[in-house]
Amino acid sequence: MEEKTTTQKESVRLYELGFILNPQIEEARVGEEAAKIKAVIESDGGVIVAEELPKYRALSYTMIKRLASGNKRVSSGYFGWVKFESEADSLSSIDAAAKNNENIIRYIMIKTVKDSMYVQRSYGVRKMFQPSAFKPVEGVSAERKAVSDEELDKSIEKLVAEVGK
């Protein structure tokens, strides 16, 4: 009995399905379309681990969706993704459902690892931009002197005269 459960756990892997939905779908129906995709995954024994609801985005290039009524050019869409655990045997039915869904412009299904779910980007300040990274220049004082308007005008005229030479 233990052998069966260990082999079953080994055959379950983590996958990610990224998809672009048709931009002509009403915004209120986008959640419904995402729910249909999740329902297909869950009906085949998959377990949803993480997801991002589709958001409207402009695409980098125009895509062509082949439909029974003809080709359709798309330059924007609703992009979303779902991470799920599933057995490899059920991927073919999930793939077929995504391929046959006319509201999905394009999709990709990849095998992934659990660690990537928890990776967060660090947007810390680089060391070179911290004040302690700057060295003071010798011979230049950090003190500021009050300058009158007359002195400022004279120094500007002097600089303009030097540039004009």
User: What does the pLDDT average to over 9-15?
Assistant: 81
pLDDT at residue 9, as a whole number: 57
pLDDT at residue 20, as a whole number: 94
Q: Is the pLDDT of residue 156 over 70?
A: yes
User: What does the pLDDT average to over 6-25?
Assistant: 82
Rounded (5°) CA angle 23-27-29: 100
Structure tokens at 23: 């931009």
pLDDT at residue 144, as a whole number: 72
* 103 neighbors 26 (Cβ within 8 angstroms): no
pLDDT at residue 1, as a whole number: 47
DSSP, res 60: E
What domains, with CATH codes, occur in the chain? 2-117 (3.30.70.60)
What pTM was computed for the model? 0.62
Structure tokens at 73: 């050019």
User: What does the pLDDT average to over 17-29?
Assistant: 91
